[in-house]
Amino acid sequence: MNNGRVIEYMGIEFVVEYSKKFDKDLQTVMDILNKGIENLTHADRVALLRVYRPAWHDGGKIEGITSYDSSATACEFCQKCRKAAEGKADHICGYCYDYAQEHSFKGVNVRNRHSLNMLIMQSVEFTKEELELLECSKIDRVNSSGDTPNVTYAVNMLNIAHVNPMAHFAYWAKNVIAVQMAVEKVGKPENMTLVQSSCILNKAVKLAKYFDIVFTVYTTKEAVDQALANGAGECNGKKCQDCGYKCYLNGWAAGQNVAEYLRVNKAQRAELEKASR
């Protein structure tokens, strides 16, 4: 397998000549989107959804869950957040775990697919009937990687839940405004928990309209313990299935702050400890 080459399409970088299957999928999407969104036929829109790939997780923290992902690398909102985090030790986006994964030694395939999935969902607002074509599990997550790039993406994510009423969804977002605008357009699904992620480490954000719980990352075990003592729910990297899928099954009280211990490497941990002195 070669190292491929990078091309840019609609502001997103893709690595091609790396996977024949992906190259074919990317070309399909480009050919369709180049027609102009207003000119797409129903067949075009179905073809885009045939390319879209929800991810089934057979291991790791979210084992047993299907995720509909954005891209930590390609999402413009994420890019702005990483820029805002520069020089700020207390901004979570400066320690982005998903971004690191997408740029790991074997991350190119994941980065490509996340970026293509995001491009499809941020470009076209599909009908509910069209979205019924997508795979769905009993437990599903929106944004295992990345965040919400725009309102179109958020509308599609909400409507995926609307057309799968027997499934349970949790939607993680820092881009609160885009999600709120989508809710006001298509309504909030009864089977979806909206999880507002705190941008600042060790500080739970004030719960926004339509959101159900807050997810906050803490830099030290002492900070986690203090948050739990103050009433926070515990995540701390436990597998969702071991937790009982509380974020998905309304297992937390309304407005609950859920605490997680920051996952970083040794160098980043040392930087945080230095900043906290």
Domain total of the chain = 1
Task: Tell me the two tokens of residue 212.
Answer: 């159900």
Instruction: Compute the distance between CA of residue 125 and CA of residue 105 in angstroms, rounded to an integer.
Output: 34
- The per-residue pLDDT for range 217-267, each reduced to its tens digit, is 999 999 999 999 999 999 988 899 999 999 999 999 999 999 999 987 777
Q: Tell me the whole-structure pTM to 2 decimals.
A: 0.95
Q: Which of 146, 77, 76, 73 is nearest to 111 (CA)?
A: 73
Instruction: Compute the distance between CA of residue 79 and CA of residue 93 in angstroms, rounded to an integer.
Output: 9
**Helix 42-51 with 20-33: angle, nearest 10 deg:** 150
Residue ranges making up the domain that contains 184:
5-276
Angle among Cα 102, 103, 106 to the nearest 5 degrees reads 80
Instruction: Compute the distance between CA of residue 25 and CA of residue 47 in angstroms, rounded to an integer.
Output: 10
**Residue 1 pLDDT class (50, 70, 90 cuts):** very low
CB 26 within 8 A of CB 14: yes
Check residue 200 and report its DSSP letter. Answer: B
Strand order in 65-68's β-sheet?
Answer: 55-57, 65-68, 139-142, 168-173, 192-197, 213-218, 257-261, 233-234
- The per-residue pLDDT for range 98-122, each reduced to its tens digit, is 999 999 988 999 999 999 999 999 9
Q: Give 57's strand partners.
A: 65
Instruction: Compute the distance between CA of residue 195 and CA of residue 179 in angstroms, rounded to an integer.
Output: 11
Task: Tell me the two tokens of residue 148.
Answer: 């919400």
CB 66 within 8 A of CB 141: yes
Angle among Cα 145, 81, 159 to the nearest 5 degrees reads 45
- The per-residue pLDDT for range 9-33, each reduced to its tens digit, is 999 999 999 899 999 999 999 999 9
Q: Give 13's strand partners.
A: 8
pLDDT of residue 243: 93
pLDDT at 271 over 90: no
pLDDT of residue 276: 60
- The per-residue pLDDT for range 135-189, each reduced to its tens digit, is 999 999 999 999 999 999 999 999 999 999 999 999 999 999 999 999 999 999 9
pLDDT at 214 over 70: yes
Question: Residue 61: enclosing H or E segment and its boundaries?
Answer: none
